[in-house]
Amino acid sequence: MNGIQLYEYLEHAYPELLDRVIFISGDSLGEVTRDFLERVKRPMLSKPYTPTQLVAFVREVFGVRALYP
């Protein structure tokens, strides 16, 4: 199951979880992926990324404060 399939499953089975979904992709230029991301309007982090960038992305999207400075 890929990310698109997972999201579509959640749309039908658990729509209350959709606002908790973020995407990480190395295929943001592919037509299918681009069209999907435009449709669902969920945050996406492009590969490659550093661990620091991933943590910052999750914190920004979900409003999580750092536990440690």
For residue 31, what are the domain limits?
3-62
Number of domains in the chain: 1
Tens of pLDDT, residue by residue over 2-19, are 999 999 999 999 999 999
CA atoms within 13 A on the CB side of 7: 18
Q: Is 68 part of any domain? A: no
Look at residue 42 and tell me if it is in a domain.
yes
Domain assignment present for 48: yes
In a domain, 67, yes or no: no
Residue 43 domain flag: yes
Q: pLDDT of 20-59, one tens digit each?
A: 999 998 876 789 988 999 999 999 999 999 999 999 999 9
Please indicate, yes or no, if residue 28 is contained in any of the structural domains.
yes
Domain contains 15? yes
**Single-letter amino acid, residue 31:** E
Alpha-carbon distance 8 to 15, whole Å?
9
